[in-house]
Structure 1
Amino acid sequence: MTVVLAIVRRNLRLFFRDRMNVFFSLLGALILFVLYTLFLARLQIDGLQETFPRASEQEIRAFVDTWMFAGIVMLSTITTGLGALATLVDDGESGRFRDFLVSPVRRTQLVLGYLIAAVTVAIVMSMIVLALSILYLGIVDSMWLTPLTVLRIAGITVLCCAGFTALSALIVSFIRTNAAFSGFATVIGTVLGFVAGAYIPVGSLPGAVATTINALPFAQGAMLLRVEFTDVSLPAMVGDSGDAADAIREFYGIDAFVGEFLVPASVAFGVLVAMAFGFTALSAGRIRARIR
């Protein structure tokens, strides 16, 4: 275990020492925040004001911001873990794998070092993003999340980090060069905003596209976060109108529908847990076979 921890520390130092890698791992979340701050939030607020004329602009803005930050936290759980796997690609391209193999380090220890470090980076960076999101909502929107809500969000965030980092590790195990990895990470950081329904509400998309997106684990993880983030802001905006609340929940992806089927939270949790264990096993096997 001492060897594994040493490898984890080494990989963590390499990630946090490369400031550009840290920045690009948060690029998707930063793009989403800038887009909403400058353009998209105003469009959502204006549309919701027409739908809910009795709600104040502050209540509507609080809902839009809580929905937005759920997407930002969701994106950070994917892109930061992916960014931490750059060390794996770099070690493979530079030939460091051969250096490790001539030392008294087993392949299994190397694999655990890469995977644990990547998950650790994802959790640490996502928690920082979550803390900044909570502060923004409290200071700007006067929407302070309760400690219990924050605890539930943190738990969902950790689960997303484990599941999506495991998936990223499996994909990255097929990437051989730093150039290919950089291109892949840049594309993923941008595209996932659409795939998770973070840039625009999923309800504004064609039915078949919305169904496809909601069937993916990214949208289901975002759904779990949105339920917690909007727990107070949504009722404050819609008031006593239950039908309106249901329509908003479906339109903004707070409830994920695959066709006519409402994806229960238990299914979404199960998918993330299955991803965490299944893809960890698959990626560990792939990385172990690659280290030679």
Structure 2
Amino acid sequence: MVEKLLSPGADGRRVYVALGDSFTEGVGDCSSRLPNGVRGWADRVAEQLARADPGWEYANLAIRSKRLRQIIAEQLEAGLAMEPTLVTLYAGGNDILDLGTDIRALMKDYEYLVARLAASGATVVLFTGFDVRVSALLEPLKRRNAFYNQRVREVAARYEAVLVDYWCFDAFYDPRMWNSDRLHMSKAGHKYLAGQVLDQLGVAHKVKSKEWAPAAKLGFRDRGRGQRRWVSDWVLPLFARKLRGVTLGDDLSPRWPEPVRVPPKAGLKKLTAKVPAD
């Protein structure tokens, strides 16, 4: 079924457009040669699509820290104008972290966004959010995340979207799947997710997940030291930015703002000489 949905348009083009925030931009998967200094699962999916079926084009409009309303305002029409064959969307995670968010109103806007994308005829891929167990500080957000995931599942079924149920991936209980901020995936996490997306689309791929020995258990002192470092390096700066009304994405542009033809060999690395990293 998905293979038919991924068939070319009337003009023979196949276009993959990625929408969202840091999750889709690729934060946590560092690559100094690529735009915005990151790679991420969406780039990897685009590369594997081109390997399986040369001719795919790819655009990634996602920017870290964007809220759902900003994704609708800044990415929706631009993405639809590219006449996509495939759209991936993760949006709303940053809104969940904002204490003043009306989660029910948020999900109404989310459904509006998905409905617009589905009406375009593109195959739409949606994601639930993972239950990141980083600290008791964020436990109050767990109920919001559960409500978000329930609504995402309902919306995916209503609009016949492909659902990547990130919530259910036990592999992400391994701390090595996460960046040092504990909120964004590491390179290994992005690779694993790329494989899951391709599997859901029924696309053959060569993405191999990292195989590790069991993670070493930290002692009480090491855990405490790590927790203090995390609060100092990530939590306090996050709240400071919220107080100032600024985000890490304010001065960034989309990584791939226009559809680029993905070379089936060497992938997007072939294009890096033409696109300077920010």
Alignment TM-score, normalising by the size of structure 2: 0.29
Larger Rg: 1
User: Higher strand fraction: Structure 1 or Structure 2?
Assistant: 2
Alignment TM-score, normalising by the size of structure 1: 0.28
